[in-house]
A and B are shown apart, each in its own frame.
Chain A
Amino acid sequence: QSVLTQPPSASGTPGQRVTISCSGSSSNIGNDYVYWYQQLPGTAPKLLIYMNNQRPSGVPDRFSGSKSGTSASLAISGLRSEDEADYYCAAWDGSLSARVFGEGTKLTVL
């Protein structure tokens, strides 16, 4: 059981906007930046969002991140078939002195 809680699955149709939540506590999300990673099938994770809402170069602006208190969200607008992947949130947990990941959300594009 991870200290960061994500829904196990999410889905949407092409062109839709979907959001994936990540819930934590004051020892992690409430006190540190949130990061999001996309893992396409059979590949290594890829950094999608850093420092809550910043996109690395090359990441489309369809992807956006936000944080409020002890929760964070990843939003994907204009959903495309190639967005079908597992998405993970991560943060530093000061109580554990450890980098923690959410359990991951499998996004299906219907």
Chain B
Amino acid sequence: QVQLQESGPGLVKPSETLSLTCSVSGGSISGYYWSWIRQPPGKGLEWLGYLYYTGYAEYSPSLKTRVTISTDTSKNQVSLKLTSVTAADTAIYYCARSTRDIVFDYWGPGILVTVSS
């Protein structure tokens, strides 16, 4: 059974970089698309971007200057970096797996990241 688990700091200061890791167990990251999705408290879902295991990535147009998604195949991990954060970036951050036709079939439980000084 594939399992995803997000990890990282729960508190980030404004203007700093948010860095999260998604550890994948029960399966390889190879052959799949890996996305980060966030959800501000009490609000809807926002897609941040995806990375195909080959290295091809696409990012949300509204965030593409600040977002980077990468993988570490040796550790079976997917990472997210979001630079120059503000309070508007406070959200639960989820990682999720996709195949070409089945989008977001597995999700991590999410991690709440608060941006505050």
Known: A44-B110, A103-B44, A104-B44. A33 touches B61 (CB 8 A): no
Verify if A63 is at the interface (C-beta below 8 Å from B): no
- State the Cβ distance, B95 to closest chain A Cβ, in Å: 10
User: Smallest Cβ distance from A12 to chain B, in angstroms?
Assistant: 22
Contacts between chains A and B (CB distance < 8 A), count: 56
A2 in contact with B44 given A96-B61, A99-B50 (CB within 8 Å)? yes
Expressed in whole angstroms, the Cα–Cα distance for A46 and B37 within the complex equals 13
CB of A68 within 8 Å of the partner chain:
no
Distance (whole angstroms) from the CB of B93 to the closest CB of chain A: 11
Instruction: Report the minimum CB–CB distance from A50 to chain B (whole Å).
Output: 5
Q: Check: A100 CB closer than 8 A to any chain B CB.
A: yes
Stretch from B8-16, B20-28, B69-77, B101-109 contacting the other chain: B101-109
Interface size class on chain B is 10 to 19
B94 on interface, CB distance cutoff 8 Å:
yes
- Chain A's closest residue to B98 (CB) is A99
Cα A16 to Cα B89 with chains together (Å):
39
Contacts of A96 in B (CB 8 A): 61
Supposing A99-B35, A104-B44 touch, asked if A44 and B101 sit within 8 A by C-beta, the answer is no
What's the minimum C-beta distance from B94 to chain A, rounded to whole angstroms?
Answer: 6
| Known contacts A33-B101, A96-B61, A98-B60; is-contact A46 B47 (Cβ 8 Å) | no
Contact at B102–A50, with CB atoms within 8 Å? yes
A50-82 contacts to B (CB < 8 Å): 50-51, 56
For B101, the chain A residues whose CB sits under 8 A away are: 33, 50-51
Interface residues on A, range: 20 to 34
Q: Which residue of A lies closest to B50 (CB)?
A: A99
A45 and B44 form a contact (CB under 8 A): no
CB pair A98 B104 closer than 8 Å: no
CA distance A90 to B105 in the complex (A): 13
Residues 87-110 of chain A, each 1 if its beta carbon lies under 8 Å from chain B, else 0: 010100000111111111000000
Residues of B within 8 A of A35 (CB): 103-104
Listed in ascending order, the chain B residues whose CB lies under 8 Å from chain A are: 35, 44-47, 50, 58, 60-61, 94, 101-105, 107-110
For the complex of A and B, list the 8 residue pairs with the smallest distance between their C-beta atoms, beginning with the closest. Answer: A99-B47, A44-B107, A101-B45, A104-B44, A50-B102, A103-B44, A35-B103, A47-B105
